[in-house]
Amino acid sequence: MQSAFWMPFTANRQFRKAPRLLARAEGMHYWTAEGRQVLDGVAGLWCVNAGHCRPKIVEAVKRQVATMDFAPTFQMGHPIAFEFAERLARIAPQGFSRVFFTNSGSESVDTALKIALAYHRAKGEGQRFRLIGRERGYHGVNFGGTSVGGILANRKSFGPGVAGVDHIRHTHDPARNAFSRGQPAHGAEFADDLERLCALHDPSTIAAVIVEPVAGSAGVLVPPKGYLERLREICTRHGILLIFDEVITGFGRLGKAFGSQHFGVMPDVFTSAKGITNGTVPMGAVFVKDAIYDAFMQGPDGIELFHGYTYSGHPLACAAGIATLDTYEEEGLLTRAASLDRTWEDAAHALRDARHVIDIRNCGLVAGIELEPRPGAPGARGHEAFLKAFEAGVLIRATRDILALSPPLIIEKAQIARLFGCVREVLKAVE
């Protein structure tokens, strides 16, 4: 195996000894380099919401690359970036009609944090410099996202991070909530932890709080009933912006276009990426409430926000994104998770008596199956389950000992049965 590629979030030496190579994809499946079919239980990496190699998206990208490969968006523009932003604003919650383009979830997060800081400054409240994240949060890997993120392994090697960051506690409470179906009953009061930080730092120093509506990468943590509402209320009371990181929960994953619409709680700013182009071309977007955008437009007449990426609004990504939205809309994919919700939930919770399982959590077309860690080897059991499922023809994800499932939203009921059936069989074989 050649070794120039330093693989991300991968045990590189282990991988080289036993490579797992995907060579082709279509619909719900991958095919390995050896030609073996693999059912995609994780939408690639939570992103291929419409399934793989959808013809309309493929055609749109081909057409665009032959028409105009690249055009800058600094002091210049090109029509499809405006068209795509317009289309996105149409499916966003009311009052979010402004969209800032990035190239990834990590960039969306850092952009959202910077917009929050600059917004307060534009309003004459430059003393609001603190950014609050949450334990077990994942907000990508750039310095802002790493700092507000709350996963130990992602933080420990990278120094002190951005100054002025603090964290509220996570919402995981297995003693009261294990095996909850959908939103757990207990834990709305965990939102009050924000009051503790307000009392410690003074709320007038806090710019924003960022949370994932459903924490994905830390192992599928669904917000307790009333929790997001309470967080919203506290932020509003103190003039703190609430940012939802919807990189995973966006684009139909929970049964509505965005997680905020599913939970009925509106942030002030929200991030997206992944499903925005069905994973075809890297892209992200930050949505802001109109009042936030308007605050920038009332400043001196010139560049209002000194921020952007060479590839913000890249033509290929915009073409892919427009075709992706067409596909989602034509096939009803932004709401399909809602109609499969019960089947999915029943299939997930049927694993309650499977070997090693200590908790099951679900929301929309997302499920987390938590395994009891092997004594002295946390994460080993989850990784082994991932490897065995791949051998058995199903792609799942393991974050430590939590198996995460989030298939393309085109999944059929028989494939849901196959996915969870495979996990059950695999767990029988895992030590």
Ligand X SMILES: Cc1ncc(COP(=O)(O)O)c(C=O)c1O
Shortest distance (Å) from residue 168 CB to ligand X: 16
Asked if 288 touches ligand X (CB under 6 A), the answer is: no
Show the binding pattern over residues 114-143: x = contacts ligand X (CB under 6 A), - = does not.
------------------------xxx---
Q: The tokens 């996105």 sit on which residue?
A: 88
110 vs 203, beta carbon nearer ligand X: 110
Q: Minimal CA–CA distance to 387: which of 378, 397, 400, 374?
A: 397
| Region of 61-69, 210-218, 347-355, 392-400 interacting with ligand X (CB under 6 A) | 210-218
Asked if 273 touches ligand X (CB under 6 A), the answer is: yes
Asked if 217 touches ligand X (CB under 6 A), the answer is: yes
Q: Which of 207, 248, 403, 416 binds ligand X (CB under 6 A)?
A: 248
230 vs 274, beta carbon nearer ligand X: 274
Tell me the C-alpha distance between 407 and 37, whole Å: 15
- In contact, 257 and 250? CB cutoff 8 Å: yes
146 vs 177, beta carbon nearer ligand X: 146
Tell me the C-alpha distance between 424 and 213, whole Å: 28
Shortest distance (Å) from residue 6 CB to ligand X: 16
203 vs 219, beta carbon nearer ligand X: 219
Asked if 287 touches ligand X (CB under 6 A), the answer is: no
Shortest distance (Å) from residue 105 CB to ligand X: 2
Q: Which of 40, 110, 193, 212 binds ligand X (CB under 6 A)?
A: 212
User: What is the DSSP pairing of strand 397-399 with strand 98-102?
Assistant: unpaired
Shortest distance (Å) from residue 286 CB to ligand X: 12
Asked if 224 touches ligand X (CB under 6 A), the answer is: no
Tell me the C-alpha distance between 46 and 250, whole Å: 10
Asked if 245 touches ligand X (CB under 6 A), the answer is: yes
| Minimal CB distance residue for ligand X | 105
Shortest distance (Å) from residue 266 CB to ligand X: 18
Asked if 177 touches ligand X (CB under 6 A), the answer is: no
Q: Minimal CA–CA distance to 172: which of 365, 342, 400?
A: 400
CA 6 to chain centre: 24
# binding residues, ligand X (CB under 6 A): 15
Asked if 357 touches ligand X (CB under 6 A), the answer is: no
- What the block records as the tokens of 406 is 């989030």
Burial code (b: 16+ CB inside 10 Å, e: under 16) for 355-389 equals ebbebbbbbbbbbbbbbebbeeeebbbbbbbbbbb
Q: What single letter denotes the amino acid at residue 137?
A: G
85 vs 109, beta carbon nearer ligand X: 109
Q: What single letter denotes the amino acid at residue 10?
A: T
110 vs 347, beta carbon nearer ligand X: 110
Q: How many residues does the chain have?
A: 431
Asked if 210 touches ligand X (CB under 6 A), the answer is: no
Which residues neighbour 11 within 8 Å (Cβ) at sequence distance 6 or greater? none
Q: Which helix (H) or strand (E) holds 261?
A: helix 259-263
Shortest distance (Å) from residue 239 CB to ligand X: 25
Q: How many CB atoms lie within 10 A of CB 46?
A: 25
47 vs 351, beta carbon nearer ligand X: 47
Shortest distance (Å) from residue 79 CB to ligand X: 26
Q: What is the DSSP letter of 372?
A: P
Shortest distance (Å) from residue 310 CB to ligand X: 16
275 vs 315, beta carbon nearer ligand X: 275
Considering only residues 31 through 70, tell me which ones interact with ligand X, judged by CB under 6 A: 46
Q: Minimal CA–CA distance to 284: which of 293, 292, 275?
A: 275
User: Which residues share a beta bridge with 218?
Assistant: none
Shortest distance (Å) from residue 402 CB to ligand X: 14
Considering only residues 376 through 395, tell me which ones interact with ligand X, judged by CB under 6 A: none
Q: Which of 216, 259, 279, 368 binds ligand X (CB under 6 A)?
A: 216
Q: Sign of dihedral through CA atoms 422, 390, 153, 206?
A: negative
Q: The tokens 């995460």 sit on which residue?
A: 404
Q: Minimal CA–CA distance to 263: which of 349, 191, 324?
A: 191
Asked if 247 touches ligand X (CB under 6 A), the answer is: yes
Which residues neighbour 135 within 8 Å (Cβ) at sequence distance 6 or greater? 150, 167, 168, 169, 170
Show the binding pattern over residues 70-109: x = contacts ligand X (CB under 6 A), - = does not.
----------------------------------xxx--x
Binding residues (CB under 6 A) for ligand X: these are: 46, 104-106, 109, 138-140, 212, 216-217, 245, 247-248, 273
